């Protein structure tokens, strides 16, 4: 018995050791990273690097492996993330590195997948993140001024940066230790605001750079948007386009740390979309004109869980229109088109790293070529390290925003669509053009679960546009008190600044006082037919005015004037002002001074004896909500809250908590709650804060019916969602759910109908492809440039149409297939004059029941030429389904 127990213990500890070894094992052998004027030099070799921006706390650790794998599959070499100070040090000196903030685990996962990591420590990060990543307690450090030559700030900043670098070193995560970290960042876009700090700003830049370098991290540091970055720090570009960027020294390479592939959104804003063709154009132009490191900001945006959204007014979703969407699903064709682009750039890498700079050739008024050519030793380079005798790769660009162009290049003719770049890895064959999308389009749909009680009846499917409402029978409710609810209150004869009181432990701060109204005042108002008015010089973000327990007015805005007529009764009136923040400022100079709540004069006007200066009254302060501080959203505490059943015909309007239980939908598809029936508040699932919600509607106008990829992008171009609430769906990560009895708790401020809340499953349901005979053959079929003459070769030049459903899904039916001259676009395809009768059977044969498939685009595949002398296209629309058993056989 004793022996077997000892053996068991031994086996258990052995397996733990093995497990630990596996999870901490580094993919890499130790390697050095340096740089020259052309590129990062990794293990002795210059590299062209594609980086995927992805912030670990914007997903759950359970989502990280899949997101990292999808980044790698999309062609990323590097993952880039910020480090979030306020997440890691919520209380000064108390560090937190667990759960979504387990940065060590994240970095190790990146390394274990064979990807490099660019760690942007900041510690100011901007990032649409609360307070730009600064802990709110930093405001309270005596004598502090942020981001300038200020001793208290520099001490705090240095302490945190040191802490992170030390942690990474202890965990052996730097490249020279065999870890994935190849590059770091100090500060963030300080150049944007430096001039506001005058000499102090200049000193601070020098100090920050030296402080970083002195840490001896052993990998290069960048400062983005910092044209006065000192010698040993690479200053990099952040923008929609960076192909004209010049670093501040000939010794530094051209790096693009933030390629904005979409944009963020505010409550009440439209949803921005950056077209894949334009994004690919920007990236191709960057590498064309000498760039060597490019990071997508964001490759995966994710979700601002909890109250991490920056501000003011940034929404909970941080989808960003990124190649991987908020739920972790691929956004197609963006992801696939970029994947093809990356493969094309990789085919050019040997020439790109071998040549010191491109040769520019003017091809037309708005057409140009950049050629990377190296002949044997002509440039005095030791080319053997690049494994080549001679190399030539070229980019042909047509920067005309309207017109296509035909150009001649090295004796051959090339057709260039408007606003596009063709990539020629051997200076002869075009393998990719940024405006020609061969990747599939995916249409994501939402499957509605019966609200919160999946045992009630079967699921139904709707497209995203369908409206549906389900009624759950059991919701419970409890009122949130207006004003004082605890003994932790205090009174002073002053209006205090909001953050000085809340320390951001809550969005909410109650200001409570009493106003005496005489008979004379009432008569005065009646005679003059006027009402007293609350006026405040300036206020942010939301103000709610309660008189005698009734909500009588709301104001929303960022440092706006308040002029709010009010109504009082004779005698003593309770006046309660609720000040709310909706994400703290994350951008700009002097953040520590920004504060929240009220500024300037605050008074009641229109009384018989003149105005009442409210700042001279005694105010009682109550921080936060009772429900929030008694944790009624947690599984452990919620029962104590005194819930009562909610009746359909008696839904309380304002300041109410609701709760219910629900079963998790089957399967692995990502889950969201549709809170479109609610007003404004916060929601928790099993104690996890899924974020703020707010059903503010975007302006009716300003969206484009069609999105033209041509011409420079900005965040007002190609917007959608006009006249609709900016966000109604809120991601509930699968790992926060159990099979049944999940506790959902909602705090609602303004009124809404919880009975209309539903659960949704997100997945790709429709996939479409459209590829013509004249398209390029798949990129992976090209062999790398030939050693002897630098040319690339291909065995089979047939283009192919590729389709793929998400994980756990298969192609269940072919909704449309036509080889010939099909018209329209995804979900609107129709047959043209030319159509091969075998189209549907060929595609069905290749694809049905499979997770992914491909079909060659040639006459032989479709048993003959359906129309001689015409360029044929294959267009397919297919449906993906989760269960192989329920395939749409009837469609066959």
Q: Check: CB of residue 321 under 8 Å from CB of residue 274.
A: yes
Between 116 and 124, name the residue whose CB sits nearer to ligand GAL.
Answer: 124
Cα gap 838→420, rounded to integer Å: 34
> Cβ of residue 241: shortest distance to ligand GAL, in angstroms?
14
Q: Are 314 and 304 in contact (CB under 8 A)?
A: yes
One character per residue 157-196, x = contact with ligand GAL (rule: CB under 6 A): -------------------------------xx-------
- Output Rg (C-alpha) for the chain, integer angstroms: 30
772: β partners: 873
State yes or no: residue 279 binds ligand GAL (CB under 6 A).
Answer: no
* Nearest approach, Cβ of residue 129 and ligand GAL (Å): 8
Q: Work out the burial of residue 244: count CB atoms within 10 Å of its CB; fewer than 13 is exposed, 13-18 middle, 19 or more buried.
A: exposed
- x/- mask, ligand GAL, residues 127-146, rule CB under 6 A, reads xx------------------
Decide: helix, strand or coil at residue 206.
helix
Annotated catalytic residue: which of 145, 258, 277, 326? 258
Helices (H), 475-518: 498-502
Token pair recorded at residue 864: 């003959």
Cis peptide preceding 541, ω within 30 of 0: yes
Q: Which is nearer to ligand GAL, 586 or 770 (CB)?
A: 586
How many residues contact ligand GAL, by CB under 6 A?
Answer: 9
Least distance CB 304 / ligand GAL (angstroms)? 12
The whole-angstrom separation of Cα 483 and Cα 621 is: 9
Interatomic CA distance for residues 109 and 111, integer angstroms: 5
Cβ 238 to ligand GAL shortest distance, Å: 5
If the CB atoms of residues 138 and 383 are measured against ligand GAL, the closer one turns out to be 138
Complex with ligand GAL: residue 193 or 522, whichever CB lies closer: 193
Choose among 331, 323, 267, 259: nearest CA to 295.
Answer: 259
Q: Measured from the CB atom, is 86 or 238 closer to ligand GAL?
A: 238
Q: CB of residue 190 vs ligand GAL: minimum separation in angstroms?
A: 10
Residues 124 and 148 sit within 8 Å (Cβ to Cβ): no
Residue 188 CB, shortest distance to ligand GAL, in Å, is 5
Stretch that binds ligand GAL, among 120-128, 153-161, 284-292, 576-584 (CB under 6 A): 120-128
Closer residue to ligand GAL in complex, CB, 299/511? 299
* Interface with ligand GAL in residues 234-253 (CB under 6 A): 238
Residues in the chain: 892
Which of the following is catalytic: 128, 145, 156, 189? 189
Q: Cα(854)–Cα(440) distance, rounded to whole angstroms?
A: 11
Of the two residues 192 and 601, which places its CB atom closer to ligand GAL in the complex?
192
Min dist CB 185 to ligand GAL, Å, is: 10
Do 88 and 97 touch, CB atoms closer than 8 A? yes
Pick the piece of the chain touching ligand GAL (CB under 6 A) from 124-132, 383-391, 463-471, 698-706.
124-132
Interface with ligand GAL by CB under 6 A: which range of 121-129, 229-237, 430-438, 490-498? 121-129
Residues 79-118 that bind ligand GAL (CB under 6 A): none
Nearer to ligand GAL, 126 or 743 (CB): 126
**Which 475-514 positions form the footprint of ligand GAL (CB under 6 A)?**
none
Stretch that binds ligand GAL, among 119-127, 215-223, 327-335, 696-704 (CB under 6 A): 119-127
Backbone dihedral angles phi then psi of residue 59, each to the nearest 5 degrees: -145, 170
- The residue sitting closest to ligand GAL, measured at its beta carbon, is 126
Which window, 63-71, 126-134, 154-162, 593-601, contacts ligand GAL (CB under 6 A)? 126-134
Q: Quick one: 174 or 256, whose CB is closer to ligand GAL?
A: 256
Contacts of 284 (CB under 8 A, 6+ apart): 341, 345, 395, 397, 421, 423, 434
| Whole-Å CA distances, 379 to 347, 349, 354, 371, 388 | 21, 17, 9, 14, 13
Least distance from ligand GAL to the Cβ atom of residue 189, Å: 5
Q: How far is the CB of 192 from ligand GAL (least distance, A)?
A: 7
Smallest distance from ligand GAL to CB 162, Å: 22
Minimal distance, residue 690 CB to ligand GAL, in Å: 22
CB closer to ligand GAL out of 263 and 287: 263
Return the range that interacts with ligand GAL (CB under 6 A); candidates 88-96, 122-130, 739-747, 774-782. 122-130
Instruction: Choose the binding region for ligand GAL from 125-133, 136-144, 549-557, 822-830 (rule: CB under 6 A).
Output: 125-133
126 lies in the site for ligand GAL, by CB under 6 A:
yes
Neighbouring-strand partners of residue 539 = 560, 598
List the alpha helices (DSSP H) in 215-275: none
What is the edge-to-edge ordering of all strands in the sheet holding 644-645? 644-645, 476-479, 656-662, 742-748, 680-685, 688-694
Specify whether the CB–CB gap between 74 and 339 falls below 8 A: yes
Residue number with CB closer to ligand GAL (128 or 541): 128
Q: Which is nearer to ligand GAL, 86 or 188 (CB)?
A: 188
**Phi, psi (deg, nearest 5) at residue 546:** -115, 130
Q: Cα separation of 391 and 379, whole Å?
A: 12
Q: At closest approach, how far in Å is the CB of 191 from ligand GAL?
A: 11
Annotated catalytic residue 800: no
List Cβ neighbours of 219 (8 Å cut-off, separation of 6 or more): 33, 174, 175, 176, 181, 182, 183, 184
* 622: Cα separation from own chain's centroid: 35
Tell me the CA distances in angstroms from 411 to 207, 352, 737, 786, one per residue in order: 54, 22, 62, 21
Q: Across 663-804, where does the E strand assignment appear?
A: 671-674, 680-685, 688-694, 729-732, 742-748, 758-772, 800-804
Residue 189 annotated in active site: yes
264 binds ligand GAL (CB under 6 A): yes
Q: What are the Cα distances from residue 402, in Å, to 7, 65, 357, 420, 710?
A: 75, 42, 29, 11, 7
Tell me how far apart the alpha carbons of residues 813 and 332 are, in angstroms, rounded to a whole number: 19
**Of the ranges 123-131, 398-406, 459-467, 821-829, which one interacts with ligand GAL (CB under 6 A)?**
123-131
Residue 799 main-chain phi, psi, to 5 deg: -70, 160
Residues that bind ligand GAL (CB under 6 A): 125-128, 188-189, 238, 258, 264
What is the set of active-site residues? 189, 258
């Amino acid at each position: 018995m004793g022996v077997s127990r000892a053996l068991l213990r031994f086996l258990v500890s052995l397996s733990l050791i093995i497990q630990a070894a596996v999870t901490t094992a580094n993919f890499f052998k130790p390697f050095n990273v340096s740089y020259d004027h052309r590129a990062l030099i990794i293990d002795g070799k210059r590299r062209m690097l594609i980086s995927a921006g992805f912030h670990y706390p914007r997903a759950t650790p359970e989502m990280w492996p899949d997101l990292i794998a999808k980044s790698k599959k999309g062609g990323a070499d590097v993952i880039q993330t910020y480090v979030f100070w306020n997440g890691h040090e919520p209380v000064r000196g108390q560090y937190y590195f667990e759960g979504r903030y387990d940065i060590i685990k994240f970095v190790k996962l990146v390394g274990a997948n064979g990807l490099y990591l660019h760690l942007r420590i900041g510690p100011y990060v901007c990032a649409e993140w609360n307070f730009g990543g600064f802990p709110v307690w930093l405001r309270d450090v005596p004598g502090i001024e942020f981001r300038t030559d200020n001793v208290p700030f520099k001490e705090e900043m240095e302490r945190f940066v040191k802490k992170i670098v030390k942690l990474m070193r202890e965990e052996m995560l730097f490249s020279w230790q065999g870890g994935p970290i190849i590059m770091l960042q100090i500060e963030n876009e300080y150049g944007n605001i430096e001039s506001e700090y005058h000499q102090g700003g200049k000193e601070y830049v020098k100090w920050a750079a030296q402080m970083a370098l002195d840490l001896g991290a052993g990998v290069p540091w960048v400062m983005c948007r910092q044209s006065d970055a000192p010698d040993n720090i690479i200053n990099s570009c952040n923008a929609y386009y960076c192909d004209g960027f010049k670093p501040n020294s000939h010794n530094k390479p051209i790096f693009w740390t933030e390629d904005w592939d979409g944009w963020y959104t505010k409550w009440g804003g439209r949803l921005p979309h950056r077209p894949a063709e334009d994004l690919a154009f920007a990236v191709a132009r960057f590498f064309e004109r000498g760039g060597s490191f490019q990071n997508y900001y964001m490759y995966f945006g994710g979700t601002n869980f909890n109250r991490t959204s920056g501000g003011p007014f940034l929404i909970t979703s941080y989808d960003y229109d990124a190649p991987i969407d908020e739920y972790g699903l691929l956004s197609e064709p963006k992801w696939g088109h970029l994947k093809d682009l990356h493969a094309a750039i990789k085919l050019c890498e040997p020439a790109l790293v071998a040549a010191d700079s491109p040769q520019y050739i003017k091809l037309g008024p708005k057409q140009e070529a950049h050629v990377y050519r190296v002949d044997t030793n002509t440039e005095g380079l030791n080319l053997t390290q690049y494994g080549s005798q001679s190399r030539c790769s070229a980019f042909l660009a047509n920067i005309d925003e309207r017109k296509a162009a035909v150009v001649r290049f090295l004796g051959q003719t090339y057709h260039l669509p408007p606003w596009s770049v063709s990539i020629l890895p051997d200076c002869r064959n075009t393998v990719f053009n940024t405006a020609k999308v061969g990747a599939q389009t995916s249409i994501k749909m939402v499957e509605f679960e019966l609200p919160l009680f999946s045992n009630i009846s079967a699921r139904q499917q709707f497209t995203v546009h369908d409206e549906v409402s389900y009624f759950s029978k059991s919701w419970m409710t409890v009122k949130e008190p207006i004003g004082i609810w605890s003994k932790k209150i205090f009174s002073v004869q002053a209006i205090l600044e909001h953050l000085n009181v809340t320390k951001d432990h809550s969005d909410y701060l109650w200001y409570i006082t009493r106003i005496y109204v005489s008979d004379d005042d009432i008569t005065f108002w009646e005679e003059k037919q006027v009402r007293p008015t609350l006026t405040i010089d300036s206020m942010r973000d939301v103000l709610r005015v309660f008189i005698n327990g009734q909500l009588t007015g709301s104001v929303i805005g960022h440092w706006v004037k308040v002029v709010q007529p009010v109504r009082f009764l004779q005698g003593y009136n309770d006046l309660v002002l609720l000040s709310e923040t909706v994400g703290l400022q994350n951008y700009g100079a002097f953040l520590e001074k920004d504060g929240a709540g009220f500024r300037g004069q605050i008074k009641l006007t229109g009384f018989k004896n003149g105005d009442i200066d409210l700042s001279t009254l005694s105010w009682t302060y109550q921080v936060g909500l009772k429900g929030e501080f008694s944790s009624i959203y947690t599984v452990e505490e919620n029962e104590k809250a005194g819930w009562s059943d909610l009746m359909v015909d008696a839904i309380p309007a304002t300041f109410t908590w609701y709760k219910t239980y629900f079963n998790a939908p089957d399967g692995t598809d990502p889950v969201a709650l549709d809170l479109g029936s609610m007003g404004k508040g916060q929601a928790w699932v099993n104690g996890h804060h899924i974020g703020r919600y707010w059903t503010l509607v975007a302006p009716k106008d300003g969206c484009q019916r069609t999105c033209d990829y041509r011409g420079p992008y900005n965040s007002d171009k190609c917007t959608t969602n006009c006249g609709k609430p900016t966000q109604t769906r809120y991601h509930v990560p699968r790992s926060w759910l159990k099979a049944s009895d999940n506790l959902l708790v909602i705090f609602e401020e303004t009124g809404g109908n919880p009975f209309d809340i539903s659960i949704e499953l997100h997945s790709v349901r429709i996939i479409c492809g459209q590829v013509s005979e004249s398209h390029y053959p798949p990129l992976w079929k090209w062999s790398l440039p030939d050693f002897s003459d630098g040319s690339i070769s291909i065995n089979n030049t047939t283009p192919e149409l590729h389709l793929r459903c998400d994980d756990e899904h298969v192609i269940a039916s072919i909704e449309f297939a036509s080889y010939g001259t099909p018209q329209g676009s995804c979900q609107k395809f129709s047959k043209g004059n030319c159509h091969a009768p075998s189209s549907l059977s060929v595609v069905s044969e290749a694809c049905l029941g499979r997770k992914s498939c491909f079909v060659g685009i040639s006459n032989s595949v479709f048993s003959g030429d359906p129309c001689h002398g015409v360029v044929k296209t294959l267009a397919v629309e297919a449906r993906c389904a989760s269960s192989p058993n329920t395939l749409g056989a009837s469609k066959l």
